[in-house]
């Protein structure tokens, strides 16, 4: 209990570092952003981290899509060489400790609190009006460097938070190798609204003479990466997509065809790190015919929450957990939405095929109740107001339709996680019954217009859906193809009730649009 209290105090302290009132208030004065980055070097002095970071053997990864997955693959490969690994990624879904992994495991509460208060107390003692406390992500990056230095990791795999050039992690001056994952349009309000501008920010992690790898990129982005590399004498190479036949019949630990691109990049980052740090046990990579056993084991056992993750609702009081299954992916850009739709469509087909196959193992003449059930697909969605649903929804719907998959219903909900509060896994924040649903209603309107055509289905707008006796609590705006719920728990209750009331129905729920929404669903479903 005492440790929980100390942990809650740490979460309150972290929450005090949040500078924006909500996730969509992203526009910052460029001068302020530069100043915040410059302050990182002063914070490093306060925490005596300059020398430890210069000695750290770092893999630094930026990009629009797949950088977290690439980092996870890279860490898993190097860990399977017996190395003591540190991994820093973002965001976290349930508990902030997910951002800091030691040897593949989230940092323990004891170690987290030890290093948290060590950093916090020293910064508090030295900071002033002229040198304010770091913002949340800057503090978390500093904490990661402190943890990895104190734990004396052999390798630190560091994921860029946003952009690259002035990202908090870019205090790294001498990484062993750098990587740039697929680039696309995201955070354009900060990074610029052209691929050239975005690529320029990402290439900001290149360091003179340090080898770098990327993947196949749009021409305009690739040209910028090449130009930046040339200016810094960086040997930039393009990593090939992994050939799945090299995994000896196994599957990647992270699902989705797009992960073979990330895995190919991770292979080159890992092999280059091993070569440049003089590990004699490593034999040069030959991606054309075989992979070392450690690479295969790392790639096939890597795990990352909220990316192409399938979670049955075991809390649902039905005959089988497979009656309500959540397919979760934190896609939030047009490109990643298409990737997510492909994964979801193929995953539900594979699940249905396996279910039918297993139901006939014992008696081909009598299919089980499970195999006779009708499968319906439901979308559970939210995204930040800076996203454009007019770009997201068509990519999702068209890609799914190409696989013959259509959504019976779309459910729109506000996130439960509170932006001004860093939560922990111990409890869920209370649901505010007076939450502003204007954005969710906008999402619903766009969805209905796309589904029904430009005329929409206006006669159904404003219809109130009621479930149970507590009308005030259960009210939600329902249209022909969608429902807006005032909270996520109400949407989950609706899904569970739907399955309970229809014994011949199986619901396959795609949860996407926001990693924070995915984390909120996990808190509810895994409790």
Residue 55: how many other CB atoms lie within 10 Å:
11
Distance CA 516, CA 474 (A): 23
DSSP state of 290: B
**Residue bearing tokens 């972290």:** 14
Q: Are the CB atoms for 296 and 252 separated by under 8 Å?
A: no
For residue 307, say whether it is annotated as part of any ligand binding site. Answer: yes
For residue 286, say whether it is annotated as part of any ligand binding site. Answer: no
Residue 433: how many other CB atoms lie within 10 Å:
10
Q: Are the CB atoms for 373 and 506 separated by under 8 Å?
A: yes
- Paired tokens of 88: 């820093």
- DSSP for 225-275, written as a single string: HHHHHHHTT--EEEPPPP-GGGGTT---SS-STTHHHHHHHHHHHHHHHHH
**Residue bearing tokens 């973002």:** 90
HEC per residue, 45-85: HHCCCHHHHHHCCEEEEECCCCHHHHHHHHHHHHHCCCCCE
For residue 368, say whether it is annotated as part of any ligand binding site. Answer: no
Q: Are the CB atoms for 522 and 380 separated by under 8 Å?
A: no
Q: Are the CB atoms for 307 and 330 separated by under 8 Å?
A: yes
DSSP state of 400: H
- Three-class SS of residue 105? strand
For residue 336, say whether it is annotated as part of any ligand binding site. Answer: no
Q: Which residues, in sequence order, are CB contacts of 343 under 8 Å at separation 6+?
A: 255, 256, 257, 258, 308, 327, 329
CA distances from 289 to 1, 108, 246, 248, 262 (A): 54, 40, 7, 11, 19
For residue 90, say whether it is annotated as part of any ligand binding site. Answer: yes
Pairing of strands 463-465, 236-238: unpaired
Distance CA 261, CA 240 (A): 7
Q: Which residues, in sequence order, are CB contacts of 312 under 8 Å at separation 6+?
A: 321, 322, 324, 325, 326
Quote the strand ranges of 262-340, DSSP E. 309-312, 324-328
Q: Are the CB atoms for 367 and 498 separated by under 8 Å?
A: no
Dihedrals φ, ψ of 386, to 5°? -75, -15
Binding residues for Mg(2+) are 90, 159, 187
Binding residues: 90, 159, 187, 307, 329
Residues flagged as binding site for ATP = 307, 329
């Amino acid at each position: 209990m005492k440790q929980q209290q100390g942990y809650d105090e740490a979460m309150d302290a972290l929450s005090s570092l949040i500078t924006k009132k909500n996730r969509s208030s992203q526009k910052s004065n460029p001068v302020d952003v530069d100043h915040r980055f410059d302050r990182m070097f002063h914070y490093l002095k306060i925490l005596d981290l300059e020398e430890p970071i210069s000695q750290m053997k770092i893999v630094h990864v930026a990009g629009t899509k797949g950088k977290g997955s690439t980092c996870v693959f890279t860490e898993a490969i190097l860990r399977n060489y017996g190395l003591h690994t540190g991994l820093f990624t973002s965001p976290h879904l349930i508990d902030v400790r997910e951002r800091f992994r030691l040897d593949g495991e989230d940092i323990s509460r004891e170690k987290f609190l030890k290093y948290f208060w060590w950093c916090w107390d020293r910064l508090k003692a030295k900071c002033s009006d002229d040198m304010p406390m770091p913002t949340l992500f800057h503090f978390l990056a500093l904490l990661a460097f402190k943890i990895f230095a104190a734990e004396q990791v052999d390798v630190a795999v560091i994921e860029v938070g946003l952009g690259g050039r002035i990202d908090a992690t870019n205090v790294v001056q001498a990484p062993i190798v750098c990587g740039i994952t697929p680039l696309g349009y995201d955070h354009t309000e900060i990074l610029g609204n052209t691929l050239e501008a975005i690529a320029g920010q990402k290439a900001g992690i290149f360091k003179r003479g340090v080898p770098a790898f990327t993947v196949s990129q749009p021409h305009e982005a690739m040209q910028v990466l090449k130009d930046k590399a040339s200016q810094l004498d960086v040997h930039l190479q393009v990593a090939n997509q992994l050939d799945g036949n090299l995994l000896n019949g196994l599957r990647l630990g992270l699902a989705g065809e797009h992960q073979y691109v990330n895995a190919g990049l991770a292979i080159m980052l890992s092999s280059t790190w091993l070569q440049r740090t003089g590990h004699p046990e490593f034999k040069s990579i030959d991606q054309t015919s075989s992979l070392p056993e450690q690479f295969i084991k790392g790639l096939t056992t890597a795990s990352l929450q909220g990316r192409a993750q399938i979670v049955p609702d075991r809390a649902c009081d039905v005959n089988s957990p497979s009656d309500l299954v959540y397919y979760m992916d934190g896609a939030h850009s047009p490109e990643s939405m298409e990737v997510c739709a492909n994964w979801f469509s193929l995953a539900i087909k594979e699940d249905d095929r396996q279910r039918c196959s297993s139901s006939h193992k014992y008696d081909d003449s009598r299919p089980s109740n499970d195999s006779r059930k009708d499968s319906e697909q439901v979308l559970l969605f939210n995204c930040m107001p800076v996203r454009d649903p007019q770009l997201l929804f068509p990519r999702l719907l068209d890609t799914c339709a190409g696989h013959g998959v259509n959504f019976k219903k779309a459910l729109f909900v506000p996130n439960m996680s509170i932006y001004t509060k860093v939560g922990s896994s111990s409890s869920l924040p209370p649901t505010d019954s007076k939450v502003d649903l204007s954005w969710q209603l906008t999402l619903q309107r766009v969805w209905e217009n796309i589904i029904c055509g430009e005329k929409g289905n206006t006669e159904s707008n404003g219809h109130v859906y009621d479930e149970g006796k507590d009308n005030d609590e259960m009210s939600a705006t329902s249209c022909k193809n969608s429902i807006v719920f005032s909270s996520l728990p109400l949407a989950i209750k609706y899904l569970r009730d739907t399955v309970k009331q229809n014994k011949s129905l199986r619901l396959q729920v795609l949860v996407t649009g926001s990693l924070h929404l995915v984390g909120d669903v996990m808190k509810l479903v895994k409790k």
